[in-house]
Structure 1
Amino acid sequence: MGVLTTVFAFLLVLGPLVVIHELGHYLVGRLFGVKAEAFSVGFGKELAGWTDRRGTRWKLSALPLGGYVQFAGDMNPASAPDSGAAASVSPQERAQMFQFQPLWQRALIVFAGPLTNLLLCVAIFAAFTFFQGNRVIEPVISDFAEHSAAKAAGLAIGDRIVSIDGQGVGDVQDVARYVMLHADGRVPVVVERAGKQVRLPVTIATREIDDGFGKKARIGDLGIAFDQPVVAGFAPDSPAKAAGFAVGDRIVRIDDVDVTSFQDVVGQVQPRAGQTLRFTVLREGARHVFLVPVQKAMRPDGEGKAKAVGMIGVEAQIGRLVPVGPFKAVAIGFDRSFELLSDMLTGLRQIVFGERSVKELGGPIKIAQASGQQFSLGWENFVGFAAFISINLAFINLLPIPGLDGGHLAFYAAEWVRRKPLDVRSQEWAIRTGVMFLLALMLFVTVNDIVALPIFGG
């Protein structure tokens, strides 16, 4: 990917999400009669803008790493209240100033930004689910990796995972979400086997994964496969289709090796480019044998270098797609969005308590890289990534740090308890401290991003 493509994809993600976030503040403020003096996409020097008939200055600013709405009565874009703002204004102007609105209205105006980002994430997930169906993968073990933590603990092929560490399991995503975030943890796993529930203690292993673009991450791994070796479709010019494969065929044997998962198929095919393999498939209860020549294709390895691998041009059947109505799709959208929020909270807690490395924190450079990568994979991946960034913006803005929306909500909580607001000077100093902390954090994650670049060996 070129630098221009990466920058374009980054702006295409961040720009609309910032606008949506700030529109949440703006629209709710307008609903309550609060005047917005400025609506900015980006920080710093204004590059372009116009003033509408309500007196709001709409502008594009030089630093495209966020944005703000500055309401009447705000001293600066961080919404620090201006202690002298009410002294020289009329009662009508005072009624339009943010700081003099009722507590519940101020709280709703501030909360509207993160809420809008959350609702956008819900809408994207709901739309995907409604138009594509809800993919359900039963948590039934089909195979184990070579050094499987689950197999070592006593789990067996055919076991259905019921719960992990007391958390119920509905499908494979529930298993993956928990395991990925709890590397090296020892947890009880309950499985259903022959109609009975069996409880087994399992120590989750650690595995390093590559995203296909040379970036690595450390995750938990049980060494379990849930995918069934069933053909769901074919790539263009598929050798398997030309040899006689059909959609719905279940691959049960390759040469003299039994197959129980699609990962087995990949493991047998990828190292054998240029060879002809004998596939045994099960179709409507009958066995069929096909000789398939393995194509050679170039794919990036863990270091980002091109590597020749074998392919037969078949697509895996990953679970089943269940059609859902609009209300069910929205419910699933909320579920997945709150699952992401829960995962972010878990990850932040692990970093704070030293269970995960601070090197896993990413800043604008990593977001830009990921934006370009997802853009290169197609619109569906890109829109899904935008949903992920949107929920991240909601989460970060709700942290109780002065200068963020969560910091203002913390001020309002204190005001509600004390029955009077914090004095303006205290709020100003708290916001200045919070902004300094955020700038230091931004500098840290940016350095983190730079050090992780390939030119530095990251």
Structure 2
Amino acid sequence: MSAFFSSIFGFEGILLGTIVPFLFVLTVVVFVHEMGHYLVGRWCGIGVQAFSIGFGPELFGFNDRRGTRWKLSAIPLGGYVKFVGDMSVTSSPDAEGEKNLSPEERRIAFHTQPVWKRAATVFAGPAFNFLLTIAVFAVMFAAYGRDVREPMVAQVNPGSPAASAGFQPGDRFVSINGRQIETFDDVRRIVSGRAGDTLTFVMLRDGKDVTLTATPQIVEQQDALGNVMKVGVIGVVNDEQLGQPRHIDYGPVEAIGAAVSQTGHIIAATGQFLKRFVVGREDKCQLGGPVRIADMAGKAAKAGFEWLVQLVAMLSVGIGILNLLPIPPLDGGHLVFYGYEAVFRRPVPERMMEAVYRTGMFLVLAFMAFVFWNDLFGC
């Protein structure tokens, strides 16, 4: 019996080993996202009725002095900010309810605000996700620095794309598709997401630039947490002799700059992946939902708190990008509507908005079903 309780409640058990880290990661990311909506909305003078972490029935909460209900809800897979005048958590206008608003409520209602205030409030959620990632990386760089290697080729694997392209030991990467290379990590970052794409490499060889073309091939690799990933490689190896590994320490300002750059790389890589996925050039098993995130959170927690914090940063970027997709009821869908309103000086026709909302909701639900299927049965 003691062994049973140890497996359930011990760190290796599902409760503390997986569920608690998962809830920590998701709650931090969701809280920051919704706090972005809340803070900018309040700054714009918009009234807030509710701030919820989670959906569904309220577990507990309280009212602040402004009348906002802060609550924790039963389904911990998201959250929302409900502004005055909203019909639902998607910030759809409540035409019937708006008739019953008092003059004071009408003044602070979301849909009575200028379009720029509504757009700023909606954009703030994803923006805060990006800022969270920058903050995490800045702290990590300031605290631990970073190890880098020179972008040198020490070995070319026989039969690899690099061997076919004419790469040679001693070559130094100068640029890939016009992007300058400073470290060997830059090479990995660019090549890993471009399997099947023909890339142009400028290499420094015997003091002269040599232009080579190679097409990365897909291989399975394990990341630091043991997750199997399919990435692109060209088949070159870097070693300590030519790579000359060194440690970089960052001051506060330098750490922020490096964090902004790192976040930008992740955003670009995620955007590249989504474009390739849509046209069928990425493996569907690369996408996961809550079950996979929970598994990754458990592995990160076992590896150490700093790994869990890095997972928060990575997930925060992903949530920010997904929310900017131009699909209602996501934030990006609202921004498309506000862009239309700003250009044509009138809101999107109600019938069109309803039709687009229904289509968008179907796509979002279909995507959620897809990643759940991947988590449980598909991969």
Length-normalised TM-score, structure 2: 0.92
Q: How is 1:209-248 mapped onto 2 (pairs within 5 angstroms)?
A: 209-211=221-223, 215-228=227-240
> For residues 60 and 193 of structure 1, what CA distance do their matches in structure 2 show?
60
Counterpart contact for 1:132–1:321, Cα < 8 Å: no
One of 255, 260, 268 as aligned partner of 1:342? 268
Match of 2:113 in 1: 101
Match of 1:447 in 2: 373
One of 81, 93, 101 as aligned partner of 2:93? 81
Identical aligned residues as a percent: 42
How big is the shift at 1:214?
A: 6.4
Counterpart contact for 2:225–2:300, Cα < 8 Å: no
SS at match of 2:71: strand
> For residues 127 and 212 of structure 1, what CA distance do their matches in structure 2 show?
20
Deviations 1:270-300 (A, max 9, x none): xxxxxxxxxxxxxxxxxxxxxxxxxxxxxxx
> For residues 351 and 217 of structure 2, what CA distance do their matches in structure 1 show?
51
- Structure 1 ranges of 4+ moved more than 6 A: none
One of 377, 402, 419 as aligned partner of 2:345? 419
How big is the shift at 1:406?
A: 0.6
| Matching of residue 400 in structure 1 with residue 326 in structure 2 | yes
> For residues 70 and 425 of structure 1, what CA distance do their matches in structure 2 show?
23
| Matching of residue 152 in structure 1 with residue 78 in structure 2 | no
The count of corresponding residues between Structure 1 and Structure 2 is 367
Counterpart contact for 1:80–1:427, Cα < 8 Å: no
How big is the shift at 1:71?
A: 0.2
Paired letter, 2:13: G
Identify if the C-alpha distance between structure 1 residues 48 and 425 changes in structure 2 by more than 3 Å, giving closer, same or farther. Answer: farther
How big is the shift at 1:147?
A: 4.3
Match of 1:127 in 2: 139
One of 36, 40, 46 as aligned partner of 2:48? 36
Match of 1:190 in 2: 202
Counterpart contact for 2:119–2:335, Cα < 8 Å: yes
Which structure has the bigger radius of gyration? 1
Counterpart contact for 1:81–1:428, Cα < 8 Å: no
How big is the shift at 1:30?
A: 1.1
Higher-strand-fraction structure: 1
Deviations 1:313-348 (A, max 9, x none): xxxxx8212223222221111111111111111101
One of 247, 256, 273 as aligned partner of 1:321? 247
- Which consecutive unaligned segments of at least 5 residues does structure 2 have? 1-11
Match of 1:19 in 2: 31
Match of 1:161 in 2: 173
| Matching of residue 378 in structure 1 with residue 304 in structure 2 | yes
> For residues 227 and 55 of structure 1, what CA distance do their matches in structure 2 show?
61
Paired letter, 2:323: N
Counterpart contact for 1:415–1:421, Cα < 8 Å: yes
Match of 2:4 in 1: none
> For residues 166 and 11 of structure 1, what CA distance do their matches in structure 2 show?
42
Identify if the C-alpha distance between structure 1 residues 185 and 86 changes in structure 2 by more than 3 Å, giving closer, same or farther. Answer: closer
> For residues 90 and 423 of structure 1, what CA distance do their matches in structure 2 show?
25
Deviations 1:48-91 (A, max 9, x none): 11222211111111111100000001000111111123322222
Match of 1:391 in 2: 317
> For residues 40 and 428 of structure 1, what CA distance do their matches in structure 2 show?
25
Match of 2:13 in 1: 2
RMSD over aligned CA atoms reads: 1.9
